[in-house]
Structure 1
């Protein structure tokens, strides 16, 4: 694996490279660009002859830097191998799932996040057998605890002028009017965290993560925590394109398929 780091510490990314290459390889070189913007965190782009990882300095110097790098290398690996989770058009699957239905803009935005969770499941299947998950569990726990604590006293408010069935791309800014965490997607995130931990046997059933997930589920009456945990945990290790598309359509309908008006 050929990894070049620009603008920040090289050790986490080179260390991750050495670990990753014990089990897998990347044919294309990787350029890591460390940026000052704390909101950048991680962003990956691909071309026919290279991969590029852009990451914030905050993330690149954090205790999770090596694990973040391993995670992104796994995404690159799936991209090179043409894994269905990384070749299936999310936009296409969402339109297929929600055809003829009217869905809130926030729900459509969340559908992209849920699709990303499904990609993450497959990326984590690649790197998690390489290193222990002792850092990941506290990270998931802290993230979920912060989201549960940040829940609004009333349901989150969104600018209804943007509500439509046009699927907004993830790069477009949300028109949210309140800063608090959205209870619905927090509950789905909790289901993802539990599914990930159970898929890789990272926690016992009495772990605090289950209590946090239960609290998140209580704040989101329309989200069935058990159902979404099953969606993530039951993803086939080696799906074909049709199987993954069906899984993505099913989870999209489970989350946002309740509308009744015809789509625009």
Structure 2
């Protein structure tokens, strides 16, 4: 597995992630690590005919999560090279099939993209968690959910949760909580008394119109090796569940 770090910055997290990844997987294309100066840039992978590109801020590359972030993105790259349905299915096609003839709020459409990304992350992390420990990922999910709950607009901050900004949408926060808990349960990362359950319960209570249990079940029980048709239908069903209403099947 060929890794090329572009620009000054730490290299050890990416090499360490490569060593873990290579215990069970490999990539055919080289990986270019692009270190960005913007501390707010999210970590994401780009895919091209001759390479993959891991985009990450220098701040994230120097953080305690750097190795885990890199390993997660390597897993996305592997799914892309496998032509896994989660990484080849067009979300625009899914939105057309699920929502044709309906009027949908722009924020809800953005949330549908997030739901599709969660499903991609489930399949990437099936690889990530097969080669590396899950403790840091679990802590990250817990802290992110706690921050989102504290950010809920028009709601007083709960004890132990510091409000950061009134920006988190309670509906997608509930879906995010379902994703976090589903991933943790799928890989046996949590005991029954873990704080993530309490946080997820609060998020679900804050969004009574969201089928929290349904989304948790969908995420947790995603088939390990779906065909493209089955995966498309799962996405269509999840989109309709979130937006509401009925419609024709995807096929």
TM, length-normalised to structure 2: 0.92
Distance of 1:233 and 1:52 partners within structure 2: 29
Indicate which of 217, 220, 244 corresponds to 1:230: 217
**Structure 2 equivalent of residue 250 of structure 1:** 237
Distance of 2:100 and 2:55 partners within structure 1: 35
Q: Is the 8 A contact 1:111 1:252 kept in 2?
A: yes
Partner SS state of residue 135, structure 1: helix
**Structure 1 equivalent of residue 179 of structure 2:** 192
**Structure 1 equivalent of residue 119 of structure 2:** 118
Shift of 1:235: 0.4
Map 1:2-41 to 2 at 5 A. Answer: 2-7=2-7, 8-41=9-42
- RMSD over equivalenced CA pairs, Å: 1.4
Distance of 1:212 and 1:26 partners within structure 2: 37
Shift of 1:258: 3.6
Which fold has the larger relative contact order, with Cα–Cα distance below 8 Å and residues 6 or more apart in sequence? 1
**Structure 2 equivalent of residue 166 of structure 1:** none
Q: Is the 8 A contact 2:177 2:200 kept in 1?
A: yes
Partner SS state of residue 135, structure 2: coil
**Structure 2 equivalent of residue 173 of structure 1:** none
Kindly indicate whether residue 59 of structure 2 is the aligned counterpart of residue 70 of structure 1.
no
Distance of 1:214 and 1:201 partners within structure 2: 19
Map 1:170-185 to 2 at 5 A. Answer: 179-185=166-172
Distance of 2:104 and 2:95 partners within structure 1: 11
- For these two proteins, the number of residue pairs brought into alignment is 237
Instruction: Return 5+ residue gaps in structure 2 as ranges.
Output: 156-164
Partner SS state of residue 109, structure 2: helix
Partner SS state of residue 153, structure 1: coil
Distance of 2:167 and 2:87 partners within structure 1: 31
**Structure 1 equivalent of residue 203 of structure 2:** 216
Deviations 1:29-78 (A, max 9, x none): 00001111122121221111100111011211111111110110011011
Shift of 1:259: 9.0
Distance of 2:153 and 2:230 partners within structure 1: 37
Deviations 1:91-149 (A, max 9, x none): 11111111111111000000001100000000000110111111111111100000001
**Structure 1 equivalent of residue 89 of structure 2:** 88
Deviations 1:157-184 (A, max 9, x none): xxxxxxxxxxxxxxxxxxxxx9420000
Q: Is the 8 A contact 1:41 1:58 kept in 2?
A: no
Distance of 2:120 and 2:243 partners within structure 1: 19
Q: Is the 8 A contact 2:240 2:246 kept in 1?
A: no
Partner SS state of residue 252, structure 1: helix
Shift of 1:20: 0.3
Q: Is the 8 A contact 1:85 1:122 kept in 2?
A: yes
